[in-house]
Amino acid sequence: SAQAQQSNGSNKCKCSSSLLARFNAKLIQGEPVVHQPSSFCPLMEIIITTKQGKEKCLDPKSQLGKFILMKKQKHRESGAAHLTTTSAQTSSSNSTRCHVASSK
């Protein structure tokens, strides 16, 4: 099983080599944690917490992984100045609601 591992400041990823490709979303407690690639780990990692309190690593390329990343992306960009290209190009209501976020 893929267990999330604590990083001790070493150049290691938090997830072991095996990732969960499938997981029942109803068994996830709280918000999944997404770690972007960094100098510590070249991989994108998604860590979920089960209702039993165990941390598991989810494959970002899996269907659930892609769904979580899409949700996180939409949440992150909800206050951003730029809009993402989506299949809903016919609606212009998004551009009127767009406001400029403080620069990072």
| pLDDT score recorded for residue 18 | 78
For the CA atoms of the chain, what is the radius of gyration? 16
Distances (CA, A) of 66 to 22, 44, 101: 12, 11, 25
Q: What is the mean pLDDT of each run of 10 residues along the chain (104 residues)?
A: 48 80 91 91 93 93 94 79 46 44 46
Rounded distance between C-alpha atoms, residue 25 and residue 48, angstroms: 10
CA 72 to chain CA centroid, Å, is: 6
Question: Which residue, among 7, 21, 13, has the nearest Cα to 65 in the 3D structure?
Answer: 21
At residue 68, the pLDDT reads 93
Pick the CATH number of 25-97 from 2.60.40.1120, 3.40.50.2300, 2.40.50.40, 2.20.25.90: 2.40.50.40
Six token digits for residue 49: 């917490």
- Is 31 in a helix, a strand, or coil? strand
